[in-house]
Structure 1
C-alpha cells in the first residue's frame, strides 16, 4: 500500500482501530474501538482499567506475543468476533473463554497451550478454530463435538493423540486439516484417533487432510469419500518411517484401505504422502479423477511403477518426489499399452503444464511408448543383423501438448530424456536439470523455447541444437566442453565454478550471436 493511502486509511479509522501497547489505552476511547492489535514487549499482556466503560471491540490480535494474558481480556471483551493469539508463548486459555459467545474465529497457532478448556463447547457461533503447530497440545476435549457452527478445524502439525468420539456431529465442517485416523477399537469416549466412518456425515467437506492412515482399519462403507460432492482438495498421509519397517500385513492393509478411499469426481487437488504400499488402487485413473488439476506424490518409496495418469483430462500440475523403487518409467505412465486401439488417437497428459520429478535415485530409463524391435543395417562379425530397440510412437499421438515447465532434480541414474520431449512438446518453455551425473548430452530439442537450467550434472559434455533457447543457466558441470546451436540465445548465466571450462565454448557462442543478431552476447551475459 502506498504510504499516503495508508495514512488516509489510518486517519479515517483512527477512532475504531488501535495498534500499539494496550496499556496506554484510556477508558474514554474504548467505547469507540472495534479492532485492537496489541504490540506487547512484556511477558504478560495487561489491559488498562476500564471501569464502567462499554467495550465493543470485535477483533483482538497480538504481535510480539506475550507469555500469558490476564483473564480480564476474556471478561471485558465479551463482544469479540475474532481472537488471534498466534505465535505467542501463551500456555493456557482460561475457562472464561466460554463467555465469548459471539466469537467466530479463534486462532491459537504456534502457541504453547497444552489443553483446551471444557468451556470451549459453549462457543456455539465459532466457525474457525485454528490450532496449527501447537507442540504441547496432544488432547482435544469432548466438548469439541458441541461446536455446532464450526466450519474449519485446522490441526496442521499438531500431534493430537487423543480425540473425542463423535466428530461427525459437526455437520457444517468444510475444512479439516490433519484429521488423525484411528481404528476406534476401544469404543471409548476419548480415543487415539477418529475412524474413517466418522467422515460419512461430513457431507459439506471441501478440504480434508487425513494423517496417520497406517492406523486405519477397513471401512465398513466404501463411499466414505465418494459422496462428498463439494470436496476439492484431499491429502492422504501415512506416517513416515524407515524402509523395511512395516510388515507384509501392514502393507496389505494399507493397500486395502487406500482402495476404499475412492474420491468424488469433483476433486481438483490430491496429495499422496509417504504411502507405504507397493501398488496403487485400481481407481487411480481418468474415470475417478476426471476433474483433478493438481497431483502430488511425495515419499512413495515402495511402488515400482508410476500410476497410469497420462489420460487425466484436466491435470495441469504433477510432482513426483521420493519414488525410490522406480527404475523405469514407460507407457504405463501414459496409460497406453502396446496394441491398445486408443493409442491411435491418444493425447497424453492433454492439459499438463508443469511436470516435476525429484529424488528418484534408482530411475534409469524413461520412455513414453512401447518399444519395438527393428533390424538395423549394421551387421555383426557373424553376418547377423544387429537388433536395436527404438521407441515406436503411434502415428496420431499428441504428447504433452501444453507442457510449459519440466524439472528433474536428484535423478542421478537417468541416462537420457525421451526424444519426444522438446520435439513434440510444442509449448515447452523451461527445462531444469540438476543432480543428474549420468546425463552426457542435452541436444536436439527444437521446441524448447526459453530457458535451459542445468546444475551439478558432472557427466554432462554437450549442449547442442537448441535453436529457440533464449536463456542458458549452467553451474556445477566441469566436463561441459561443447556448446553450440543456440542461435536465439540472449542471456547466459554461469556459476563461479564454470568460468574456466566455459572459456572453451563462450567465444563460439559470441561469434554465432554476432553473426545472427549483429550484437555481442557479452552485453547480455550475466554471472552468478
Structure 2
C-alpha cells in the first residue's frame, strides 16, 4: 500500500454536521493471491515507519455506528481518571491538571471514554469542553479556541488580552472540565500564558490532557497517568471493533490474516484503528482497498480540491459543494440534473469511501435538559440519540417558529415513548405537528407521572388526548381544545378541572360546549393563571346567545389573572366578571371579533388595566356612559386600540377618564365622526388614526 496524509479536523465544537478529511490508504491490491505475504510485509514495514513519525502523522478516529469506546480501553484505566475528576480534593492552584501519556490514539480513546461517562454528568460540571490542540501550539490560537468552545460562539479577536478577559468572565466562579487533546508543546512559558485565564474557575475544575510525551506533562506541571502498551487481546478488540461489521463472521483464513495485522501493529492503537476503519468500509476483509488511485476522475478532481485548505480545516458539506460548483466540477452528462444534486452524490460517494469523516453531534444518554434553536438542529443526529436519553427532564425549542420535520431521523411519535421522567415538554412553534404525540397519550400516562409542563402553541394540534387529566402533576398547559363529541366533553372538562394549572392557558373551540355546566367543570376560577385566552370558532352562528353568556360566565378566572383575551365570542353581552372587581389585577384585555355583542361592558372600573384592545365588534354602534362605569374611569390605562369597528358611529367623551393615556389607535372605523379626540390625550400621548375614514373635530374651533 501507499499511505498518504490528509488533514483531520478536531472535534472541538461542531455546530453543524461537518465533515473532515480522514487519513486514507493508497492501495495496489488487485487480488487476494499468493503474493499477499510479501505485499503485507511491505505494508506493515511502512506502517511501523510512519508510527515512529509521531509528529507528522495527524490521524484521528474514524466514526461509525459501533460500540462505545468503553470496550476499547481497560476499564481500570478509565476508573482511575474518573475518580480523579470527581474527587473532592483540589489543588490550591486550581484547576488541577492530569496528563494521559501514551501511544497515539490510546490517550484520546481513554479521554473520550471518561468524558462521556455518566459519573462525569453526576459531578455537575458547569462547563464541559473538548479542544483539539495538535502540534501547532500558538498561544492566541489555543486560547481563542478554548473561548469559542466554552461559549459556542466564533471569536475573531486578535488581541490576547481581550481573549483572556472574555475567557476569564466566562469561567469565573464556574466549575469546568476542559480536555486538551493531542498536546505537543513542551514550552512551559507558553502554557503558563494560556493557563492564566483558566485559573479563575471554581474549585473542582479539572483539565485533562492527552499527549505522547512526558516532557509535555512536565512543562504543564501536571499529574501524570502513563498508559502502557496494549496487550494482545486488547489490541484484537480495538482492531475487531473498527474492522468488523456486526453480521460478519471470520473464517480461519481471514482470522489468521487479521491476527497477523494486529501483531505487526505492535500495540499501536492509532494504526489498529486506521487499518480497521478502512477494512470496515469493504464487505469482506480481503476485498480491494479503495484508494485515490482508483477513484473516478470526477471524484479525484473534487477531492484534490480539498488539499487547497489549511490543516485542521473543517468542511461544511453545503459550502464545499458550492465551491465545487464554482470550479465547474459538477457536470451532469445528461444535463438534466441540478449541479447541487450532482455535488451531493459526489460528496456522499467520497464519504462512503472514507475520504471524509462525518462528525455529527450525538445527544448524550445522560442528558436531562435539552433546549435548542433551529440552527442547532442540524448539529445533532436528527434527535435519533435522544431516544436513549432515558433521564430526560425537559425538551424545549427556544426559537419562536421552526420547521424541523426535514431534520428528524425518527418519528416524533417515537421520540418520547421510552422516557418516563420528562417534566417539561414543549412543541411550541413546531408548525408541522398536527396532534399531540401518542407517546403523550393514554397508553403512556403511567410513564409520564412527572410531567409538569406541556406546550404546543403555534402548532396544528386541534384535539387533546382524552385522558390527559390523569397527568396529576401537570401545572402548565399552553393550550386546551374542547372535544367535538358532546358525550365526551363532560369527562374532558372534568379532567381539566382536576389539574392545578399555573401561568398561561388558552382554551380553544369553546363553541363545542353546549351545556354551561360543562364549562363549570373546568374549574378555571380555582387555577393560578396569570394569562387566559378563550376562543370560539370564527363565523360560528350561536343557537342561543344566552347559553353563550352562561358558558363564558362559568369560565370565570381567578382574581390573580393579569392578561385576558376573548376571541370570537358569540354572546350579545358579557358576563359581569369581565368588568367587576373580581379582575382587580388585570393589566391587559383584548376583545376581538365578538360580532354579536351589542354594547361594551363597564371596563372603566378595571383599576389596573393598562392596555385595552377592541377589534372587530361589528354590533357596536355607540360607546357611551356604560363604557366608563364610574366617575374616575380607566385610571391606569396607557394604550387604547379600536380597529375594524364597521358600525361604530359615536363615542361619548368623559372628562375624568384616561388620565394616563399615552397611545390611542383608531383604524378602519368608517362611520365614526365628530370625535373630539384631542380631549382624550395628555401632552405625551401618541395618536394614530385612519385619516381616510375618520373626521376629527377640534374643540378649539367650537
Alignment partner of 1:231: what SS? Answer: strand
Residue 262 (structure 1) shift: 0.8
Q: Is 1:234 aligned with 2:528? A: no
Distance in 2 separating the partners of 1:353 and 1:131: 31
Matches within 5 A, 1:49-198: 77-79=365-367, 81-84=369-372, 86=374, 97=387, 99-107=389-397, 109-112=402-405, 115-117=412-414, 119-120=416-417, 122-141=419-438, 143-144=440-441, 145=445, 146-182=447-483, 185=486, 187=488, 195-198=492-495
Distance in 2 separating the partners of 1:254 and 1:98: 48
- Asked if structure 1 preserves the Cα contact closer than 8 Å seen for 2:587 and 2:611, the reply is yes
Distance in 1 separating the partners of 2:417 and 2:374: 17
| Distance of aligned partners of 1:111 and 1:20 in 2 relative to their CA distance in 1, 3 Å threshold | closer
Q: 2:509 aligns with which of 212, 222, 225?
A: 212
Q: TM-score, normalised by structure 2?
A: 0.45
Q: 2:668 aligns with which of 410, 427, 430?
A: 410
Q: 2:685 aligns with which of 400, 404, 429?
A: 429
How many residue pairs are counted as aligned between the two chains?
360
Distance in 1 separating the partners of 2:570 and 2:403: 30
| Distance of aligned partners of 1:272 and 1:37 in 2 relative to their CA distance in 1, 3 Å threshold | farther
| Distance of aligned partners of 1:300 and 1:348 in 2 relative to their CA distance in 1, 3 Å threshold | same
Residue 166 (structure 1) shift: 2.7
Alignment partner of 1:226: what SS? Answer: helix
| Distance of aligned partners of 1:442 and 1:128 in 2 relative to their CA distance in 1, 3 Å threshold | farther
| Distance of aligned partners of 1:125 and 1:138 in 2 relative to their CA distance in 1, 3 Å threshold | closer
Q: 1:246 aligns with which of 524, 529, 541?
A: 541
Distance in 2 separating the partners of 1:415 and 1:223: 44
Matches within 5 A, 1:292-331: 292-331=586-625
Of residues 168-177 and 203-212 in structure 1, the stretch that sits farther from structure 2 once superposed is 168-177
Partner residue, 1:19: 15
Q: 2:570 aligns with which of 270, 273, 276?
A: 276
Partner residue, 2:657: 399
Question: Per-residue CA shift, 1:104-150, capped at 9, x if unaligned?
Answer: 22439533377522743624133232243433523431645443333
Distance in 2 separating the partners of 1:205 and 1:443: 48
Of residues 98-107 and 279-288 in structure 1, the stretch that sits farther from structure 2 once superposed is 98-107
Alignment partner of 1:235: what SS? Answer: strand
Residue 22 (structure 1) shift: 4.1
Alignment partner of 1:398: what SS? Answer: coil
Partner residue, 1:203: 500
Residue 222 (structure 1) shift: 6.0
| Distance of aligned partners of 1:180 and 1:125 in 2 relative to their CA distance in 1, 3 Å threshold | same
Distance in 1 separating the partners of 2:673 and 2:381: 55
Partner residue, 1:443: 698
- Asked if structure 2 preserves the Cα contact closer than 8 Å seen for 1:173 and 1:204, the reply is yes
Residue 436 (structure 1) shift: 4.7
- Asked if structure 2 preserves the Cα contact closer than 8 Å seen for 1:82 and 1:106, the reply is yes
- Asked if structure 1 preserves the Cα contact closer than 8 Å seen for 2:495 and 2:522, the reply is no
Partner residue, 1:359: 644
| Distance of aligned partners of 1:296 and 1:91 in 2 relative to their CA distance in 1, 3 Å threshold | farther
| Distance of aligned partners of 1:185 and 1:301 in 2 relative to their CA distance in 1, 3 Å threshold | closer
Q: 2:585 aligns with which of 271, 283, 291?
A: 291
- Asked if structure 1 preserves the Cα contact closer than 8 Å seen for 2:678 and 2:698, the reply is no
Distance in 2 separating the partners of 1:21 and 1:263: 48
Distance in 2 separating the partners of 1:15 and 1:80: 23
Partner residue, 1:341: none
**Structure 1: runs of 5 or more not aligned:** 1-13, 40-49, 53-63, 65-69, 337-345, 370-396, 446-463, 466-528
Partner residue, 1:490: none
The structure that is helix-richer by fraction is 2
| Distance of aligned partners of 1:304 and 1:24 in 2 relative to their CA distance in 1, 3 Å threshold | farther
Distance in 2 separating the partners of 1:179 and 1:194: 14
Partner residue, 1:224: 523
- Asked if structure 1 preserves the Cα contact closer than 8 Å seen for 2:637 and 2:660, the reply is yes
- Asked if structure 1 preserves the Cα contact closer than 8 Å seen for 2:493 and 2:522, the reply is no
| Distance of aligned partners of 1:83 and 1:425 in 2 relative to their CA distance in 1, 3 Å threshold | closer
Q: TM-score, normalised by structure 1?
A: 0.58
Q: Is 1:349 aligned with 2:634? A: yes
Distance in 2 separating the partners of 1:194 and 1:86: 38
Alignment partner of 2:502: what SS? Answer: coil
Question: Per-residue CA shift, 1:155-211, capped at 9, x if unaligned?
Answer: 223232443223233344443222112266455xxxx99833222232241111111
Partner residue, 2:222: none
Residue 284 (structure 1) shift: 1.6
Q: What is the Cα-based RMSD across aligned positions, in Å?
A: 4.1
Residue 36 (structure 1) shift: 10
Alignment partner of 1:195: what SS? Answer: helix
- Asked if structure 2 preserves the Cα contact closer than 8 Å seen for 1:116 and 1:140, the reply is yes
Distance in 2 separating the partners of 1:99 and 1:318: 46
Residue 100 (structure 1) shift: 3.7
Distance in 2 separating the partners of 1:21 and 1:96: 17
Distance in 2 separating the partners of 1:21 and 1:403: 53
| Distance of aligned partners of 1:312 and 1:75 in 2 relative to their CA distance in 1, 3 Å threshold | closer
Which structure is higher in RCO with an 8 Å CA cutoff and minimum separation 6?
A: 2
**Structure 2: runs of 5 or more not aligned:** 1-9, 22-59, 62-107, 116-127, 131-149, 155-240, 243-268, 270-317, 319-357
- Asked if structure 2 preserves the Cα contact closer than 8 Å seen for 1:313 and 1:350, the reply is yes
Residue 432 (structure 1) shift: 1.2
Residue 77 (structure 1) shift: 4.7
| Distance of aligned partners of 1:436 and 1:194 in 2 relative to their CA distance in 1, 3 Å threshold | farther
Q: 1:258 aligns with which of 527, 546, 552?
A: 552
Question: Per-residue CA shift, 1:223-268, capped at 9, x if unaligned?
Answer: 711112x311111111223xxx52424x444322111011100100
| Distance of aligned partners of 1:201 and 1:120 in 2 relative to their CA distance in 1, 3 Å threshold | same
Distance in 1 separating the partners of 2:592 and 2:671: 19
